[in-house]
Amino acid sequence: MFLCRVVVAAGGAAAAVVAAALVGQNGEDSSVATVHWPPSFTRRWNSNWDQREPISLINLNDLKNSKEEDLKRLLQKYKAKAGRHIFLVRHGQYNVEGDADSERVLTSLGRDQANLTGQRLANLGYKYNQITNSTMTRAKETSEIIGKHLEGVERTSSDLLREGAPIRPDPPSHHWKPDAVYFDDGPRIESAFRNYFHRADYEQKEDTYEIIVCHDNVIRYIVCRALQLPPEAWLRMHLHHGSITELMIHHNGNVTLKTLGDAGYMPANKLSN
């Protein structure tokens, strides 16, 4: 982290040095997170992508008259010490002929897929902290079936995780949509990413294991954002119904994609798109 290296090298009024470093060339305070839409993309990894590096959690105005040791102590205090393992599950096959969401229920095959996914997650042997699902019917039903295999794990839901069109894909899709659709859905799905994907809280002592049951487009977009790849690339991936995508957020903010759309635990006759 550049600012931490500045602190170590300064050997003097560290708080003042860091405060000065946080002021950009245009005189603006770069410690204030700016919301960009669409999300910006750079070729270099942004280590403070979630605005949770220790320096971002410190009010430097309170340290103007403090010693360097005080700043170092706070930097150590706010440093994350644990990781987060997040399992993104695509819902099972559903009735695509339904007009309303309430009619788009899981098919018999979709329920079989959800059962197989629940068994797979249970067999992994992790102590899961929570299951969160989209409020759409097919995701709720999938979550309920998975939950039967993970006794005692709390289940919650969120409208942020509902299916939608996150951003105009590149290359373009043959399923044309007006820009208004991306304008409405994109910020919501981006909010889901920001809400659920970030490094562990600095007070967290052990790794957590969380399950999110949602949708194809949402998962693919989140993978691009988590890996800091161009978000427009989301449509270049393919996920089977009931598949598992695992992302790990390390204590230092680095992100690892451990599996993408894993469905190898399903027999071939249970796979569907």
Report helix, strand or coil for 213: strand
On the question of pLDDT at 30 being above 80, the answer is no
Confidence of residue 67 (pLDDT cuts 50, 70, 90): confident
Contact by Cβ (8 Å): 124, 146 = no
On the question of pLDDT at 35 being above 60, the answer is no
CA 211 to chain centre: 11
- Round the average pLDDT of the chain to a whole number and report it: 88
CA distance 17 to 65: 12
Where helices occur in 56-202 by DSSP H, the ranges are 68-77, 108-123, 137-147, 179-196
On the question of pLDDT at 21 being above 60, the answer is no
Q: Does 33 or 205 have the greater pLDDT score?
A: 205
Among the listed ranges 22-26, 42-46, 135-139, 157-161, which one has the minimum average pLDDT value? Answer: 22-26
Q: What is the DSSP letter of 200?
A: P
Range 84-270 has CATH code 2.60.40.10? no
The pLDDT score that the predictor gives to residue 68 is 83
Report helix, strand or coil for 236: helix
Among the listed ranges 50-59, 229-238, 262-271, which one has the minimum average pLDDT value? Answer: 50-59
Provide the residue ranges of all domains of the chain, joining segments of one domain with +: 2-77, 84-270
Confidence of residue 11 (pLDDT cuts 50, 70, 90): very low
H or E segment to which residue 89 belongs: strand 84-90
Confidence (pTM): 0.85
Average the pLDDT over 178-188 and give the result: 96
On the question of pLDDT at 191 being above 70, the answer is yes
CA distance 68 to 8: 9
Antiparallel, parallel or unpaired: β 130-134 and 244-249: unpaired
The one-letter code for the residue type at 29 is: D
* Beta pairing partners, 90: 214
